[in-house]
A and B are shown apart, each in its own frame.
Chain A
Amino acid sequence: MTLSIPIVLVAVMVVLFAVGVYLLLDRSLTRVLLGFLLVGNATNLLIFLTSGAFGAAPIYGDAEPIDMSDPLPQAFILTAIVITFGVSAFMLALIYRSWRLARESEDAVVDDAHDLELVDAETLTTDEVTDEELERAPEFDELGADADENEDTREGRA
């Protein structure tokens, strides 16, 4: 079965995908959201195109089954649109919250502090426990002493 696919829709899909992916790669979250919307719509178009030739509305009794267009992709698209809608709403809330929390850095994706910390770290902490230290530190000192010590350090840190 040869499918007659309208070239305009294919072109629109390609452009939407290209622009959407470009925007998704941006650091600014608003652009990411826009990119997501465009890519989502491009995907919907792709699914729509899989239904092949256009036909009559797929309502039983209105047309012969052979003349109807394939309704399954339409059902997929409908579901996908609903999901995209919900997720976009969540993304907007997330972006707003992110912007509220860090106005100075705008709404961009922030680096993970732990990652950066690891980049600077040179060696691991296993060497911290040497036999010598284990011997020097009493293994089972009294609870009271421990509590005091916690107090001290807490104050010290504060």
Chain B
Amino acid sequence: MISLIPLVVLIPLGSAALALALPGRRRAQQLITVIALVSVVALSGTFMWIVDQQGALVMQVGGWAAPFGISLVVDRLSALMLTVSAVVLLGVLLFSLGQGLADGDDETPVSIYYPTYLVLGAGVCNAFIAGDLFNLYVGFEILLVASYVLITLGGTGPRIRAGVTYVVVSLVSSILFLVSIGLVYAATGTVNIAQLTLRIAELPGNVQLLLNLALLIAFGIKAAIFPLAFWLPDSYPTAPAPVTAVFAGLLTKVGVYAIIRAQTQIFPHSSVDQLLLVIAALTLLVGILGAVSQLDIKRLLSFTLISHIGYLIFGIGMATSAGYAATIFYVAHHIIVQTTLFLAVGLIERHGGTTSLTSLGGMLRAAPVVAVLFFIPMLNLGGIPPFSGFIGKLGLFTAAAELGTPGAYWLMGVGALVSLLTLYALARAWSLAFWRTRAAALGGANAPVPNTPEGLMLQGREVALIEHLHDAPDAMPLQEQRETPALMIAATAGMVAVSVLLTVAAGPLYAYATRAGERLAAPEQFVAAVLDNPNNVSSGSGKNEIEGYDPRQSESVAGTKEAGDAS
């Protein structure tokens, strides 16, 4: 089983190469991509089951024992993240198959879409199974470079503009991550996460704080936490609907995953946790206030995405096993629901021709299925019982009540308020797009002439909006309303079903998250799993080598090995 771990990365990468070798043969590319992702789903589901039974799976790549070689680690958290990501990747892939992607804008170089998508998946999986910081960095880079290509797909004006922001911000965060790795290595002489747990604890407090903050900033940009989230609503909405959906679901969560790893395993008793609580509150509030003021559904959802990252950080900042458990459950919930909402918006865009709330209307009658497909995840994200959003928030609040500090109680209040505001923002979008009549939306002949200053302003803005929307290939209010392929609806419905399944299976899943959280709260077990693993294939007796070696010298073998693998 252990030797199967790298397959979650190798299958998508290999299939990407294969798909790239078949340019123009779209059918073959699609088939390869679907097969690759289905097998990743199956593999990661199996991992989840096995890891829950037997504890973490650790693979020492190339047979080099733990701190020397590259460790690939699948514990409960990684297995869950892998499974959820694979499901999301597959769901979004089916959606984009349905959309045909080419039918929207013919100039899109479709032959690179599927390979790039697979590379993105490989990067995400690589980040989740990385057992050392540098491998995590490589995973980040793989997924980022793939995301650069996807976000600028087609190279139209608005996408290039949005892509520039995204690329530059990501570059800066990558550099910061690399600098942090350099600093960590300078301070400890290792990048293996398990070994860092032991070595970081020996460092002076201020050095620990410096390293922790350096890594937190690097991950925070990717996770879009409060002061570092400005780039997200600018860049995500312009990408094609499936791309936005997969970015919203996965990319920020990889950053959150990295923060979880850093705060639980590298810096288990960090004073930064208090700061994280403050950041969580600000992320929650600023994000949702942004969402409330938006006129475009995609941008609105981008802001709710930022806001709900705050819940995840909230759980991490509490630094208790209950908090971690709630965060883990919430990550799974949020990945699925946020992706589903973006897919539903993709359907809205297809039916209504735009995502602007000023010109959408009357969709309930025109597309009742879409209305339902948007409504269910909307309630879920807003935290209405019995959906998983409610269970996740309940878990967070319970953990906060157990912690019982004033800060935790404040955050409970903020969390409840944000939950309400999320529901408000989304319900407003829903009622404007679906509930209000088409006539009211268009301000046409049938509608009452708006004689309030507000109405006039709105009309003027609508005209301006339509003018500049001419440039956006995906948001042409004037273009013919295209027929929606059944597969797009089916894929979205499938994702909605998965989100409902999270509710139905919440008992076992939350128990699983609790076990994962307990494991995270006790990093020494992770260390033992990686460093003393009986499955370690090593030439000597691994343990003794670890204890008796000089970090500057004996890693020489591992270094050259890593160069070969990583580059």
Are chains A and B native binding partners rather than an unrelated pairing? Answer: yes
* A binding-site residues for B, Cβ under 8 Å: 1, 24, 29, 32, 36, 39-40, 43, 46-47, 49-50, 52, 58, 60, 65-66, 68, 70-76, 78-80, 82-83, 86-87, 90-91, 94, 97-98, 101-102, 109-110, 112-115, 117-118, 120-129, 133-134, 136-140, 146, 149-150, 152-154, 156-158
Asked if B185 is at the interface (CB within 8 A of a chain A CB), the reply is: yes
Asked if B438 is at the interface (CB within 8 A of a chain A CB), the reply is: yes
Q: Contact: A102 with B454, CB < 8 Å?
A: no
Q: Contact: A65 with B554, CB < 8 Å?
A: yes
* Given A66-B553, A98-B160, A125-B458, CB of A150 within 8 Å of CB of B296: no
A-B contact pairs, 9 of them (CB 8 A): A29-B164, A47-B182, A58-B559, A72-B556, A72-B558, A75-B562, A83-B138, A101-B160, A125-B432
Q: How far is the CA of A80 from the CA of B177 in the complex (A)?
A: 11
Asked if B563 is at the interface (CB within 8 A of a chain A CB), the reply is: yes
* Given A72-B559, A78-B567, A97-B160, CB of A114 within 8 Å of CB of B552: no
Chain A contact residues, majority secondary structure: helix
* Given A46-B182, A97-B160, A139-B437, CB of A128 within 8 Å of CB of B458: yes
Chain A residues, CB < 8 A from B237: 114
Most A CB within 10 A of own CB, among B362, B439, B457: B439
Whose C-beta in chain A lies nearest to the C-beta of B165? A109
Q: Contact: A121 with B182, CB < 8 Å?
A: no
* Given A101-B160, A112-B161, CB of A50 within 8 Å of CB of B185: yes
Asked if B319 is at the interface (CB within 8 A of a chain A CB), the reply is: no
Q: Contact: B295 with A121, CB < 8 Å?
A: yes
Whose C-beta in chain B lies nearest to the C-beta of A113? B468
**How many whole Å from A40's CB to the nearest CB in chain B?**
6
- Binary interface encoding of chain B residues 161-197 relative to chain A, with 1 for a CB under 8 A from any of its CBs, else 0: 1111101100110110011011101100001000000
A149-B439, A149-B444 are known contacts; what are 14 more A-B pairs with Cβ within 8 Å? A47-B178, A72-B556, A72-B558, A76-B181, A83-B145, A94-B152, A97-B155, A120-B461, A128-B455, A129-B431, A137-B440, A152-B444, A153-B442, A154-B478
Whose C-beta in chain B lies nearest to the C-beta of A80? B178
Asked if B543 is at the interface (CB within 8 A of a chain A CB), the reply is: no
Whose C-beta in chain B lies nearest to the C-beta of A58? B556
* Given A1-B552, A123-B454, A137-B446, CB of A43 within 8 Å of CB of B566: no
Asked if B465 is at the interface (CB within 8 A of a chain A CB), the reply is: yes
**How many whole Å from B387's CB to the nearest CB in chain A?**
24
Q: How far is the CA of A74 from the CA of B560 in the complex (A)?
A: 9
Other-chain residue from A32, A68, A101, A138 in contact with B556 (beta carbon distance below 8 A): A68
Most A CB within 10 A of own CB, among B160, B191, B435, B436: B160
Chain A residues, CB < 8 A from B432: 125-126, 128-129
Chain A residues, CB < 8 A from B141: 83
Q: Contact: B175 with A79, CB < 8 Å?
A: no
Other-chain residue from B186, B439, B458, B552 in contact with A137 (beta carbon distance below 8 A): B439
Other-chain residue from A29, A43, A60, A120 in contact with B182 (beta carbon distance below 8 A): A43
Chain A residues, CB < 8 A from B552: 1, 52, 70
Q: How far is the CA of A91 from the CA of B558 in the complex (A)?
A: 32
Q: How far is the CA of A153 from the CA of B463 in the complex (A)?
A: 12
Asked if B367 is at the interface (CB within 8 A of a chain A CB), the reply is: no
Q: Contact: A87 with B145, CB < 8 Å?
A: yes
Q: Contact: B181 with A47, CB < 8 Å?
A: yes
Q: How far is the CA of A109 from the CA of B231 in the complex (A)?
A: 13
Other-chain residue from A68, A123, A140 in contact with B553 (beta carbon distance below 8 A): A68
Q: Contact: A91 with B466, CB < 8 Å?
A: no
**How many whole Å from A133's CB to the nearest CB in chain B?**
6
Other-chain residue from A86, A125, A129, A153 in contact with B435 (beta carbon distance below 8 A): A129
Q: Contact: A39 with B175, CB < 8 Å?
A: yes
Chain A residues, CB < 8 A from B295: 114, 117-118, 121, 124-125
**How many whole Å from A144's CB to the nearest CB in chain B?**
13
**How many whole Å from B324's CB to the nearest CB in chain A?**
30
Q: Contact: A90 with B160, CB < 8 Å?
A: no
Q: How far is the CA of A110 from the CA of B440 in the complex (A)?
A: 34
Whose C-beta in chain A lies nearest to the C-beta of B465? A117
Q: Contact: A117 with B293, CB < 8 Å?
A: no
Q: Contact: A146 with B164, CB < 8 Å?
A: no
Across the A-B interface, give the 5 residue pairs with the lowest CB-CB distance, nearest first. Answer: A75-B563, A72-B559, A71-B559, A50-B186, A47-B182
- Residues 519-562 of B at the A interface (beta carbon under 8 Å): 552-560, 562
Chain A residues, CB < 8 A from B162: 112
Most A CB within 10 A of own CB, among B134, B162, B553: B553
Asked if B65 is at the interface (CB within 8 A of a chain A CB), the reply is: no
Asked if B409 is at the interface (CB within 8 A of a chain A CB), the reply is: no
Q: Contact: A125 with B167, CB < 8 Å?
A: no
Q: Contact: A71 with B560, CB < 8 Å?
A: yes
- Residues 260-297 of B at the A interface (beta carbon under 8 Å): 292-296
* Given A58-B556, A72-B558, A149-B444, CB of A43 within 8 Å of CB of B178: yes
Q: How far is the CA of A123 from the CA of B162 in the complex (A)?
A: 26
Q: Contact: A157 with B448, CB < 8 Å?
A: no
Asked if B447 is at the interface (CB within 8 A of a chain A CB), the reply is: yes
Other-chain residue from A52, A90, A98, A117 in contact with B461 (beta carbon distance below 8 A): A117
